Amino acid sequence: MPTMASKRDYYEVLGVAKDAAADDIKKAYRKQAMACHPDRNPGDQEAEQRFKECAEAFEVLSDDNKRSVYDRHGHAGLNGRGGVHEFNDLGDIFEQFGEMFGFGDIFGGGGGRGGRGGRGRKGASLKTQITLTLLEAAKGCTREIEIDREETCKTCTGTGAKAGSTPDTCSYCGGRGQVVQSQGFFRVQTTCPGCRGSGKVIRDKCAKCRGSGRESKPVKLSVNIPAGVDTGMQLCVRGEGEVGSGGAPNGDLFVEIQVKPHPLFQREGLHLTCHVPITYSQAALGAEIEIPNLDGKQMLTIPPGTQPGEVIRLKRQGMPDPQGGGRGDLRVQVIVDVPRKLTPKQETLLRELAEIEHGNVTPQRKTFFDKLKTFFAGPEDE
Ligand SMILES: [Zn+2]
Ligand SMILES: [Zn+2]
Protein backbone atom coordinates (compact mmCIF):
# COMPACT_ATOMS: atom_id res chain seq x y z
CA MET A 1 0.00 0.00 0.00
CA PRO A 2 1.30 3.43 -0.77
CA THR A 3 2.17 5.51 2.24
CA MET A 4 0.37 8.75 2.87
CA ALA A 5 3.21 10.87 1.60
CA SER A 6 3.34 9.08 -1.72
CA LYS A 7 -0.40 9.00 -2.23
CA ARG A 8 -1.57 10.57 -5.42
CA ASP A 9 -4.25 13.16 -5.55
CA TYR A 10 -7.62 11.47 -6.09
CA TYR A 11 -8.64 13.85 -8.85
CA GLU A 12 -5.38 13.13 -10.60
CA VAL A 13 -5.92 9.38 -10.22
CA LEU A 14 -9.24 9.56 -12.02
CA GLY A 15 -8.07 12.30 -14.37
CA VAL A 16 -10.88 14.73 -13.57
CA ALA A 17 -10.97 18.41 -12.64
CA LYS A 18 -11.43 19.48 -8.99
CA ASP A 19 -14.91 20.69 -9.77
CA ALA A 20 -15.98 17.67 -11.82
CA ALA A 21 -19.64 16.71 -11.62
CA ALA A 22 -20.64 13.42 -10.00
CA ASP A 23 -21.51 12.00 -13.38
CA ASP A 24 -18.11 12.82 -14.85
CA ILE A 25 -16.39 11.24 -11.87
CA LYS A 26 -18.39 8.10 -12.43
CA LYS A 27 -17.58 8.06 -16.14
CA ALA A 28 -13.90 8.67 -15.45
CA TYR A 29 -13.80 5.86 -12.90
CA ARG A 30 -15.48 3.50 -15.26
CA LYS A 31 -12.98 4.31 -17.98
CA GLN A 32 -9.97 3.94 -15.69
CA ALA A 33 -11.26 0.80 -14.06
CA MET A 34 -11.87 -0.84 -17.40
CA ALA A 35 -8.37 0.03 -18.58
CA CYS A 36 -6.60 -1.44 -15.57
CA HIS A 37 -9.11 -4.18 -14.83
CA PRO A 38 -7.32 -7.34 -13.66
CA ASP A 39 -9.25 -9.45 -16.16
CA ARG A 40 -7.70 -7.40 -18.92
CA ASN A 41 -4.26 -7.36 -17.36
CA PRO A 42 -3.76 -10.81 -15.92
CA GLY A 43 -0.77 -11.01 -13.61
CA ASP A 44 0.08 -7.34 -13.97
CA GLN A 45 0.76 -6.10 -10.44
CA GLU A 46 0.96 -2.49 -11.48
CA ALA A 47 -2.44 -2.59 -13.13
CA GLU A 48 -3.92 -4.22 -10.08
CA GLN A 49 -2.43 -1.48 -7.90
CA ARG A 50 -3.89 1.16 -10.21
CA PHE A 51 -7.24 -0.61 -10.12
CA LYS A 52 -7.26 -0.41 -6.30
CA GLU A 53 -6.11 3.19 -6.38
CA CYS A 54 -8.95 4.12 -8.71
CA ALA A 55 -11.52 2.35 -6.54
CA GLU A 56 -10.29 4.23 -3.48
CA ALA A 57 -10.36 7.57 -5.29
CA PHE A 58 -13.83 6.84 -6.58
CA GLU A 59 -15.07 5.80 -3.18
CA VAL A 60 -14.09 9.20 -1.78
CA LEU A 61 -15.03 11.42 -4.70
CA SER A 62 -18.40 9.77 -5.27
CA ASP A 63 -19.42 10.47 -1.66
CA ASP A 64 -20.32 14.12 -1.08
CA ASN A 65 -19.25 14.12 2.57
CA LYS A 66 -15.96 12.40 2.02
CA ARG A 67 -15.28 14.53 -1.01
CA SER A 68 -15.75 17.76 0.90
CA VAL A 69 -13.49 16.58 3.74
CA TYR A 70 -10.91 15.59 1.15
CA ASP A 71 -11.21 18.93 -0.62
CA ARG A 72 -10.55 20.79 2.61
CA HIS A 73 -7.95 18.61 4.30
CA GLY A 74 -6.57 16.29 1.64
CA HIS A 75 -5.61 12.69 2.45
CA ALA A 76 -4.85 13.65 6.04
CA GLY A 77 -8.45 14.68 6.56
CA LEU A 78 -9.73 11.22 5.77
CA ASN A 79 -6.99 9.31 7.46
CA GLY A 80 -7.80 7.61 10.69
CA ARG A 81 -11.43 8.63 10.69
CA GLY A 82 -12.59 5.48 9.10
CA GLY A 83 -13.48 7.70 6.22
CA VAL A 84 -11.51 5.94 3.60
CA HIS A 85 -11.41 2.32 2.74
CA GLU A 86 -8.16 1.02 1.40
CA PHE A 87 -9.01 -1.81 -0.89
CA ASN A 88 -6.72 -4.71 -0.20
CA ASP A 89 -8.87 -7.33 -1.75
CA LEU A 90 -10.10 -7.16 -5.32
CA GLY A 91 -13.24 -8.97 -4.26
CA ASP A 92 -14.16 -5.92 -2.17
CA ILE A 93 -14.01 -3.73 -5.23
CA PHE A 94 -16.02 -6.09 -7.33
CA GLU A 95 -18.61 -6.31 -4.66
CA GLN A 96 -18.82 -2.62 -3.95
CA PHE A 97 -18.76 -1.20 -7.42
CA GLY A 98 -19.52 -4.05 -9.76
CA GLU A 99 -23.21 -3.33 -9.88
CA MET A 100 -22.80 0.28 -10.79
CA PHE A 101 -21.64 -0.72 -14.24
CA GLY A 102 -24.42 -3.11 -14.87
CA PHE A 103 -22.16 -5.84 -16.15
CA GLY A 104 -21.90 -8.14 -13.23
CA ASP A 105 -20.29 -10.85 -15.29
CA ILE A 106 -17.21 -8.87 -16.13
CA PHE A 107 -16.86 -7.72 -12.59
CA GLY A 108 -17.49 -11.17 -11.33
CA GLY A 109 -20.89 -10.56 -9.83
CA GLY A 110 -23.71 -13.00 -9.87
CA GLY A 111 -22.75 -15.10 -6.92
CA GLY A 112 -19.25 -16.52 -6.70
CA ARG A 113 -17.31 -13.52 -5.52
CA GLY A 114 -19.87 -11.14 -4.21
CA GLY A 115 -22.14 -13.79 -2.85
CA ARG A 116 -25.16 -11.78 -3.90
CA GLY A 117 -27.19 -14.59 -5.38
CA GLY A 118 -25.53 -17.42 -3.50
CA ARG A 119 -26.08 -20.67 -5.31
CA GLY A 120 -29.82 -20.36 -5.08
CA ARG A 121 -32.00 -19.45 -7.95
CA LYS A 122 -35.21 -17.50 -7.80
CA GLY A 123 -38.25 -19.59 -8.60
CA ALA A 124 -39.82 -19.29 -12.02
CA SER A 125 -42.65 -16.86 -12.53
CA LEU A 126 -46.06 -18.21 -13.35
CA LYS A 127 -48.80 -16.70 -15.41
CA THR A 128 -52.50 -17.22 -15.21
CA GLN A 129 -55.60 -15.52 -16.54
CA ILE A 130 -58.83 -14.53 -14.94
CA THR A 131 -62.01 -13.25 -16.49
CA LEU A 132 -64.13 -10.71 -14.68
CA THR A 133 -67.45 -9.10 -15.40
CA LEU A 134 -67.41 -5.36 -15.84
CA LEU A 135 -69.15 -4.92 -12.50
CA GLU A 136 -66.53 -7.05 -10.73
CA ALA A 137 -63.84 -4.97 -12.38
CA ALA A 138 -65.59 -1.78 -11.31
CA LYS A 139 -65.94 -2.76 -7.66
CA GLY A 140 -62.78 -4.81 -7.22
CA CYS A 141 -63.09 -8.30 -5.86
CA THR A 142 -61.36 -11.28 -4.39
CA ARG A 143 -60.92 -14.24 -6.66
CA GLU A 144 -60.06 -17.80 -5.83
CA ILE A 145 -57.70 -19.12 -8.43
CA GLU A 146 -56.21 -22.52 -8.92
CA ILE A 147 -52.80 -23.05 -10.40
CA ASP A 148 -50.37 -25.91 -10.70
CA ARG A 149 -46.97 -24.98 -9.46
CA GLU A 150 -43.72 -26.55 -8.42
CA GLU A 151 -43.31 -26.70 -4.71
CA THR A 152 -40.76 -28.22 -2.40
CA CYS A 153 -41.18 -32.00 -2.36
CA LYS A 154 -42.73 -32.99 0.95
CA THR A 155 -41.24 -36.48 0.90
CA CYS A 156 -37.61 -35.37 0.82
CA THR A 157 -38.15 -31.77 2.01
CA GLY A 158 -36.51 -30.58 -1.16
CA THR A 159 -33.18 -32.36 -0.88
CA GLY A 160 -34.08 -34.77 -3.68
CA ALA A 161 -32.44 -37.57 -1.74
CA LYS A 162 -34.10 -40.75 -0.55
CA ALA A 163 -35.00 -40.84 3.13
CA GLY A 164 -31.93 -41.71 5.20
CA SER A 165 -29.44 -40.66 2.52
CA THR A 166 -27.85 -37.28 2.00
CA PRO A 167 -26.68 -35.66 -1.22
CA ASP A 168 -22.95 -35.53 -1.93
CA THR A 169 -21.07 -32.35 -2.67
CA CYS A 170 -20.61 -31.92 -6.41
CA SER A 171 -17.03 -32.71 -7.32
CA TYR A 172 -17.12 -30.65 -10.49
CA CYS A 173 -17.67 -27.30 -8.81
CA GLY A 174 -16.74 -28.22 -5.27
CA GLY A 175 -20.25 -27.41 -4.11
CA ARG A 176 -20.28 -23.81 -5.32
CA GLY A 177 -22.84 -24.51 -8.00
CA GLN A 178 -21.06 -22.12 -10.37
CA VAL A 179 -18.05 -22.52 -12.58
CA VAL A 180 -15.93 -19.69 -13.95
CA GLN A 181 -14.71 -19.79 -17.50
CA SER A 182 -12.30 -17.31 -19.01
CA GLN A 183 -13.02 -16.05 -22.50
CA GLY A 184 -10.40 -13.48 -23.40
CA PHE A 185 -10.54 -10.83 -20.75
CA PHE A 186 -14.10 -11.72 -19.87
CA ARG A 187 -14.63 -13.96 -16.99
CA VAL A 188 -17.91 -15.71 -17.41
CA GLN A 189 -19.58 -17.44 -14.57
CA THR A 190 -22.04 -20.14 -15.42
CA THR A 191 -24.17 -22.64 -13.61
CA CYS A 192 -22.26 -25.86 -12.96
CA PRO A 193 -23.22 -28.49 -15.52
CA GLY A 194 -22.44 -31.26 -13.04
CA CYS A 195 -25.07 -30.31 -10.49
CA ARG A 196 -27.12 -27.67 -12.36
CA GLY A 197 -26.25 -25.11 -9.74
CA SER A 198 -27.31 -26.92 -6.62
CA GLY A 199 -23.76 -27.80 -5.56
CA LYS A 200 -24.95 -31.30 -4.66
CA VAL A 201 -25.16 -34.60 -6.43
CA ILE A 202 -27.77 -37.11 -5.42
CA ARG A 203 -27.05 -40.81 -5.64
CA ASP A 204 -30.13 -42.25 -3.95
CA LYS A 205 -32.96 -40.26 -5.41
CA CYS A 206 -36.24 -39.55 -3.71
CA ALA A 207 -38.84 -41.76 -5.35
CA LYS A 208 -41.54 -39.12 -5.25
CA CYS A 209 -39.75 -36.30 -7.07
CA ARG A 210 -37.03 -38.38 -8.79
CA GLY A 211 -34.37 -36.23 -7.21
CA SER A 212 -35.61 -32.84 -8.34
CA GLY A 213 -36.66 -31.88 -4.82
CA ARG A 214 -39.82 -30.43 -6.26
CA GLU A 215 -43.25 -31.62 -7.09
CA SER A 216 -46.01 -30.05 -9.07
CA LYS A 217 -49.07 -29.35 -6.99
CA PRO A 218 -52.43 -27.76 -7.54
CA VAL A 219 -52.66 -24.70 -5.31
CA LYS A 220 -55.63 -22.53 -4.47
CA LEU A 221 -54.95 -18.88 -3.91
CA SER A 222 -57.14 -15.97 -3.24
CA VAL A 223 -56.18 -12.88 -5.18
CA ASN A 224 -57.34 -9.36 -4.46
CA ILE A 225 -58.30 -7.53 -7.60
CA PRO A 226 -58.24 -3.76 -7.23
CA ALA A 227 -61.21 -1.78 -8.52
CA GLY A 228 -60.90 -0.43 -12.05
CA VAL A 229 -58.75 -3.09 -13.73
CA ASP A 230 -59.07 -3.54 -17.47
CA THR A 231 -58.41 -6.20 -20.06
CA GLY A 232 -54.70 -6.78 -20.62
CA MET A 233 -53.59 -5.52 -17.21
CA GLN A 234 -51.40 -7.79 -15.16
CA LEU A 235 -51.35 -8.15 -11.43
CA CYS A 236 -48.17 -9.34 -9.86
CA VAL A 237 -48.63 -11.50 -6.79
CA ARG A 238 -45.20 -11.54 -5.18
CA GLY A 239 -43.75 -14.84 -4.10
CA GLU A 240 -46.59 -16.99 -5.42
CA GLY A 241 -44.66 -18.39 -8.36
CA GLU A 242 -42.57 -21.52 -8.22
CA VAL A 243 -40.38 -22.23 -5.24
CA GLY A 244 -36.84 -20.86 -5.31
CA SER A 245 -33.87 -23.14 -4.76
CA GLY A 246 -31.08 -22.86 -2.24
CA GLY A 247 -32.90 -20.30 -0.12
CA ALA A 248 -33.55 -17.96 -3.04
CA PRO A 249 -36.97 -16.31 -3.15
CA ASN A 250 -39.97 -17.80 -4.90
CA GLY A 251 -41.00 -16.56 -8.29
CA ASP A 252 -43.98 -14.31 -8.75
CA LEU A 253 -47.40 -15.05 -10.11
CA PHE A 254 -48.71 -12.80 -12.85
CA VAL A 255 -52.44 -12.66 -13.21
CA GLU A 256 -53.63 -11.36 -16.54
CA ILE A 257 -57.01 -9.72 -16.45
CA GLN A 258 -59.77 -10.16 -18.99
CA VAL A 259 -62.90 -8.09 -18.57
CA LYS A 260 -65.97 -9.43 -20.34
CA PRO A 261 -67.89 -6.98 -22.48
CA HIS A 262 -71.04 -5.72 -20.81
CA PRO A 263 -74.37 -5.67 -22.66
CA LEU A 264 -75.16 -2.11 -21.55
CA PHE A 265 -71.86 -0.34 -20.92
CA GLN A 266 -69.08 0.14 -23.43
CA ARG A 267 -65.79 0.89 -21.79
CA GLU A 268 -63.19 3.30 -23.08
CA GLY A 269 -60.41 3.64 -20.56
CA LEU A 270 -62.11 4.91 -17.45
CA HIS A 271 -65.21 6.17 -19.24
CA LEU A 272 -68.34 4.17 -19.84
CA THR A 273 -70.89 4.80 -22.53
CA CYS A 274 -74.45 3.63 -22.29
CA HIS A 275 -76.88 3.93 -25.19
CA VAL A 276 -80.37 4.77 -23.99
CA PRO A 277 -83.33 4.69 -26.35
CA ILE A 278 -86.00 7.37 -25.91
CA THR A 279 -89.01 8.20 -28.01
CA TYR A 280 -89.39 11.15 -30.32
CA SER A 281 -91.84 12.75 -27.92
CA GLN A 282 -89.49 12.27 -24.94
CA ALA A 283 -86.71 13.89 -26.92
CA ALA A 284 -88.89 16.78 -27.97
CA LEU A 285 -90.74 17.36 -24.70
CA GLY A 286 -88.11 16.25 -22.21
CA ALA A 287 -88.54 13.35 -19.77
CA GLU A 288 -87.40 11.64 -16.63
CA ILE A 289 -86.07 8.25 -17.54
CA GLU A 290 -84.47 5.39 -15.70
CA ILE A 291 -80.92 4.51 -16.71
CA PRO A 292 -78.56 1.78 -15.55
CA ASN A 293 -75.38 2.66 -13.67
CA LEU A 294 -72.62 0.71 -11.93
CA ASP A 295 -74.63 0.60 -8.71
CA GLY A 296 -77.90 -0.42 -10.33
CA LYS A 297 -80.04 2.36 -11.71
CA GLN A 298 -80.89 6.01 -11.35
CA MET A 299 -83.22 8.64 -12.79
CA LEU A 300 -81.95 10.96 -15.48
CA THR A 301 -83.55 14.15 -16.77
CA ILE A 302 -83.71 14.39 -20.53
CA PRO A 303 -84.07 18.10 -21.29
CA PRO A 304 -86.67 19.18 -23.88
CA GLY A 305 -85.21 19.37 -27.36
CA THR A 306 -82.62 16.66 -26.86
CA GLN A 307 -81.17 15.60 -30.20
CA PRO A 308 -80.52 12.04 -31.40
CA GLY A 309 -76.99 11.00 -30.45
CA GLU A 310 -76.65 13.70 -27.83
CA VAL A 311 -74.48 12.70 -24.88
CA ILE A 312 -75.36 13.51 -21.29
CA ARG A 313 -72.24 13.23 -19.19
CA LEU A 314 -72.51 12.00 -15.62
CA LYS A 315 -69.23 13.01 -14.03
CA ARG A 316 -67.32 10.50 -11.95
CA GLN A 317 -69.79 7.69 -12.46
CA GLY A 318 -67.50 5.68 -14.72
CA MET A 319 -64.75 3.25 -13.78
CA PRO A 320 -62.43 3.92 -10.86
CA ASP A 321 -58.74 4.26 -11.64
CA PRO A 322 -56.85 1.20 -10.34
CA GLN A 323 -53.84 3.47 -9.70
CA GLY A 324 -55.94 5.55 -7.33
CA GLY A 325 -56.59 8.50 -9.63
CA GLY A 326 -59.99 10.00 -10.36
CA ARG A 327 -63.01 8.21 -11.67
CA GLY A 328 -64.16 8.25 -15.27
CA ASP A 329 -67.54 9.47 -16.47
CA LEU A 330 -70.69 7.69 -17.43
CA ARG A 331 -71.79 9.00 -20.80
CA VAL A 332 -75.40 8.48 -21.64
CA GLN A 333 -75.91 8.63 -25.36
CA VAL A 334 -79.48 9.21 -26.39
CA ILE A 335 -80.89 7.13 -29.22
CA VAL A 336 -84.19 8.38 -30.60
CA ASP A 337 -86.24 5.31 -31.27
CA VAL A 338 -88.53 5.35 -34.24
CA PRO A 339 -91.41 2.95 -33.62
CA ARG A 340 -91.69 0.13 -36.12
CA LYS A 341 -95.39 -0.31 -35.41
CA LEU A 342 -97.95 2.23 -34.29
CA THR A 343 -101.21 1.79 -32.47
CA PRO A 344 -104.16 3.34 -34.30
CA LYS A 345 -104.21 6.18 -31.78
CA GLN A 346 -100.48 6.86 -32.16
CA GLU A 347 -100.90 6.91 -35.89
CA THR A 348 -103.79 9.36 -35.74
CA LEU A 349 -101.82 11.69 -33.49
CA LEU A 350 -98.68 11.47 -35.56
CA ARG A 351 -100.59 12.22 -38.73
CA GLU A 352 -102.03 15.27 -37.09
CA LEU A 353 -98.54 16.29 -36.05
CA ALA A 354 -97.25 15.74 -39.52
CA GLU A 355 -99.89 17.97 -41.00
CA ILE A 356 -98.92 20.82 -38.68
CA GLU A 357 -95.23 20.24 -39.26
CA HIS A 358 -95.49 20.24 -42.99
CA GLY A 359 -97.53 23.39 -42.86
CA ASN A 360 -94.93 25.13 -40.69
CA VAL A 361 -91.64 23.99 -41.99
CA THR A 362 -88.74 25.70 -40.26
CA PRO A 363 -86.22 27.63 -42.39
CA GLN A 364 -83.55 25.03 -41.83
CA ARG A 365 -85.80 22.28 -42.93
CA LYS A 366 -86.96 24.28 -45.87
CA THR A 367 -83.45 24.40 -47.18
CA PHE A 368 -83.17 20.68 -46.74
CA PHE A 369 -86.50 19.98 -48.41
CA ASP A 370 -85.71 22.37 -51.18
CA LYS A 371 -82.53 20.48 -51.83
CA LEU A 372 -84.43 17.25 -51.71
CA LYS A 373 -86.96 18.52 -54.21
CA THR A 374 -84.22 19.52 -56.60
CA PHE A 375 -82.65 16.15 -56.11
CA PHE A 376 -85.85 14.31 -56.96
CA ALA A 377 -86.68 16.59 -59.86
CA GLY A 378 -83.38 15.71 -61.49
CA PRO A 379 -80.94 17.96 -63.40
CA GLU A 380 -83.06 18.28 -66.60
CA ASP A 381 -85.51 20.51 -64.77
CA GLU A 382 -82.96 23.10 -63.86
ZN1 LIG B 1 -38.53 -35.57 -3.18
ZN1 LIG C 1 -21.55 -28.68 -9.42
What residues does each domain of the chain span? 10-101, 118-162+209-260, 168-201, 265-337, 348-381
Helix (H, G, I), strand (E, B) or coil at 372: helix
Ligand 1: centre distance to CA 205 (Å): 8
Angstrom distance (rounded) from CA 192 to CA 154: 26
Ligand nearest to the CA of 190: 2
Ligand 1: centre distance to CA 182 (Å): 36
Comparing 368 with 247, the larger pLDDT belongs to 247
Assign domain 265-337 to a CATH class: mainly beta
pLDDT tens sequence across 150-163: 999 999 888 888 98
pLDDT tens sequence across 102-114: 333 333 333 333 3
What pLDDT is recorded for position 75? 81
What pLDDT is recorded for position 157? 87
Q: Which of 144-148, 153-157, 191-195, 220-224 has the lowest mean pLDDT?
A: 191-195
Ligand 1: centre distance to CA 213 (Å): 4
Element holding 72 (H helix, E strand):
helix 64-78
Ligand nearest to the CA of 210: 1
Q: Averaging pLDDT over each range in 8-12, 16-20, 59-63, 302-306, which range is the top one?
A: 302-306
Helix (H, G, I), strand (E, B) or coil at 280: helix
| 118-162+209-260: CATH, from 3.20.20.140, 1.10.287.1080, 2.60.260.20, 3.40.50.720 | 2.60.260.20
Ligand nearest to the CA of 170: 2
Q: Which amino acid is at 176?
A: R
What pLDDT is recorded for position 97? 53
Ligand nearest to the CA of 216: 1
Angstrom distance (rounded) from CA 240 to CA 242: 7
Answer whether residue 202 shows pLDDT above 50. Answer: yes
Task: State the Rg of the chain over Cα.
Answer: 37
Ligand nearest to the CA of 195: 2
Ligand nearest to the CA of 155: 1
Q: Do domains 10-101 and 265-337 have the same CATH topology?
A: no
Q: What is the CATH number of domain 10-101?
A: 1.10.287.110
Percentage of the chain beyond pLDDT 90 is 40
When pLDDT is cut at 50, 70 and 90, the band that residue 305 belongs to is very high
Ligand 2: centre distance to CA 159 (Å): 15
Q: Which amino acid is at 182?
A: S
pLDDT tens sequence across 269-293: 999 999 999 999 999 999 999 999 9
Ligand 1: centre distance to CA 162 (Å): 7
pTM for the model: 0.55
Q: Which amino acid is at 112?
A: G
